[in-house]
Chains A and B, each alone.
Chain A
Amino acid sequence: MHLAEGVLGFPTLITAAACTAVGVTIGMRRLTTRTLPIAALFAAVFFLIGTIHIPVGLGSVHLVLNGLIGLLLGWLAFPVILIALSLQALLFSFGGFFVLGANTLLLAAPAVLVHYTVRPLLKTQPTSSNRQLLAGSMAATIGIGGATLIAALMLWSTGQDAFNGLIGVLAAAQLPVWLIDTAVSALVVTMLARALPEALSL
């Protein structure tokens, strides 16, 4: 989910950039020489996840999985998503550079929320597969739902009622994304729990 350059007003962009700067600063505290390789690899994973498309009707939906990234990384999701989005902006012209702060905030803030709300479900080992499926589903729901909510808030703060129609269309467009992200997240958590359980306790 990316907001295009030029849609958001200057005050909204600055506020979002400031919030992202705070998030990245907190995330950087967790960036050590030990976590640097993991963070770099997850930035690459997040970047490549965005290139996986699933055809839906006449179009296709690309995976987001910001909730899953947050489940695994916590506050590190902020610098990781910032880096991945900046590379997407350059290489694919997804979003832009001035709107980078806003796009990072709408994806990373729910990711951090997922880390604190969903991760405790997976603390007690071994976890049942039902609990793993639930954790994955909740991660995607909070991730996509939170991103949609923050995007709606940013659009509304720019255009107020004039943007109600646009907000409605963008929110409706996230429905297939949410469904697919939920299914994929749930399955990924169960697959990781089977193949590499330590991934769920980084």
Chain B
Amino acid sequence: MSHHHRPDRRLRLVAVLLVSVAASFASSTLTLSLMLALALISSVILLSVRPNNSFRLIRRMLVVNMFVVLIWLTVALDWRSMTFTPSGITLATQLSLRINLITLASLLLLTGMTALDLARAASGLGLPRALGSLLTMSIRQIALLGETQQKIQLAIRARAYRPRIHWHTIRVSAQQVAWLIIHALLRAQRTELGLKARGLDTFPVLLRPAQPWRLLPRSEWYFLAGTALAVITAIAAAEILKRS
């Protein structure tokens, strides 16, 4: 089995936020286009190395662009005259570029990240301990309750249930939700007893601590620096092109 090295998860989360902030600040179509172009080039390079991720990425981008189509129909199109207005086109273009940029960057930078990785990244970036415990416990409970939900759905389907828009579907959905809540509450009581039995009177630390920042290899920081450089390059290039 080959193991692809991925940068430190904390730095990946910071990189996503960096791109999101830069994209949200940028109002120039040129700047957003250049940033998106860099993101597309990066995605082509990444997918050539890891083609397994391509289906998920393309599918997600298609779904997001359905919303982009809605934006064009509601923001750019004047339904009275059935023409696209210049101001609407400008705004819709900016939004289309921004939405695609942030979505693509998030998918690229967080590829292969699991829920526990997210918990470790957030905790390593200073998430309060109580929230960190809540996040980690929630991940575990999603797995356990998810199994319960699957059993409920199996039992429902065994009764030849097919979801359609009628009262029986509403009642069955309500039963699913009620059962989930009841299972959750009964499980919560057992978990609370378990924590008390372990003598835990403070929020449990359920994750191993992240590697100290000073021990991170330099190559990890090059990744974050590279992302920041790409953003700055796009902004600077846009400014130069605008003035020339």
Residues of A within 8 A of B (CB): 4-10, 13, 24, 28, 31, 33-34, 36-45, 47-49, 51-57, 63, 65, 68, 72, 79-80, 83-84, 86-87, 90-91, 93, 96-98, 159, 162-163, 165-166, 168-169, 180, 183-184, 187-188, 191-192, 195-196, 198-199
| Interface residue from B70, B95, B138, B176 paired with A43 (Cβ < 8 Å) | B138
Distance in angstroms between the alpha carbons of A157 and B238 in the assembled complex: 27
Distance in angstroms between the alpha carbons of A168 and B189 in the assembled complex: 44
Q: Are A5 and B118 touching (Cβ within 8 A)?
A: no
Point out the residues of chain B lying under 8 angstroms from A55, CB to CB: 163-165
Please, which residue of chain A has its CB at the minimum distance from the CB of B143? A44
CB of B195 closer than 8 Å to a CB of A = yes
Please, which residue of chain B has its CB at the minimum distance from the CB of A90? B118
Please, which residue of chain B has its CB at the minimum distance from the CB of A167? B74
Please, which residue of chain A has its CB at the minimum distance from the CB of B202? A33
Residues of B within 8 A of A (CB): 13, 16-17, 20-21, 23-25, 60, 64, 67, 70-71, 73-75, 79, 87-88, 91, 95, 98-103, 106-107, 110, 113, 115, 118, 122, 128, 130-131, 133-135, 137-142, 144-146, 149, 163-165, 169-171, 173-178, 180-182, 184-185, 187-189, 191-192, 195, 200-203
List 24 A-B pairs, Cβ < 8 Å.
A5-B106, A7-B98, A10-B21, A13-B24, A24-B131, A33-B200, A33-B201, A40-B134, A41-B191, A45-B180, A48-B146, A83-B134, A87-B139, A90-B110, A90-B113, A96-B102, A98-B24, A162-B91, A163-B75, A184-B170, A187-B178, A192-B181, A199-B181, A199-B182
Point out the residues of chain A lying under 8 angstroms from B133, CB to CB: 36
A81 to chain B, nearest CB (A): 11
Q: Are B106 and A97 touching (Cβ within 8 A)?
A: yes
Distance in angstroms between the alpha carbons of A98 and B16 in the assembled complex: 9
B243 to chain A, nearest CB (A): 24
Q: Are A166 and B74 touching (Cβ within 8 A)?
A: yes
Most A C-beta atoms less than 10 A away, residue of B118, B142, B165: B142
Point out the residues of chain A lying under 8 angstroms from B115, CB to CB: 87, 90-91
Q: Are A38 and B103 touching (Cβ within 8 A)?
A: no
Q: Are A192 and B139 touching (Cβ within 8 A)?
A: no
Query: Are A47 and B176 also in contact (CB < 8 A) when A98-B24, A159-B91 are?
Result: no
Please, which residue of chain B has its CB at the minimum distance from the CB of A194? B178
Q: Which 10 A-B pairs have the closest CB atoms?
A: A165-B74, A40-B137, A187-B174, A98-B20, A6-B98, A6-B99, A37-B191, A41-B184, A44-B141, A43-B138
B2 to chain A, nearest CB (A): 24
Please, which residue of chain B has its CB at the minimum distance from the CB of A165? B74
Please, which residue of chain B has its CB at the minimum distance from the CB of A86? B118
Distance in angstroms between the alpha carbons of A53 and B188 in the assembled complex: 26
Query: Are A9 and B203 also in contact (CB < 8 A) when A87-B118, A166-B70 are?
Result: no
| Interface residue from B20, B73, B131 paired with A5 (Cβ < 8 Å) | B20
Distance in angstroms between the alpha carbons of A184 and B163 in the assembled complex: 14
Q: Are B142 and A87 touching (Cβ within 8 A)?
A: yes
Distance in angstroms between the alpha carbons of A90 and B191 in the assembled complex: 26
Most A C-beta atoms less than 10 A away, residue of B87, B98, B141: B141
Query: Are A45 and B182 also in contact (CB < 8 A) when A9-B24, A37-B188, A159-B91 are?
Result: no
9 additional A-B residue pairs with CB within 8 Å, beyond A79-B131, A169-B70 = A5-B102, A28-B128, A33-B200, A36-B134, A55-B164, A83-B135, A98-B16, A188-B181, A191-B174
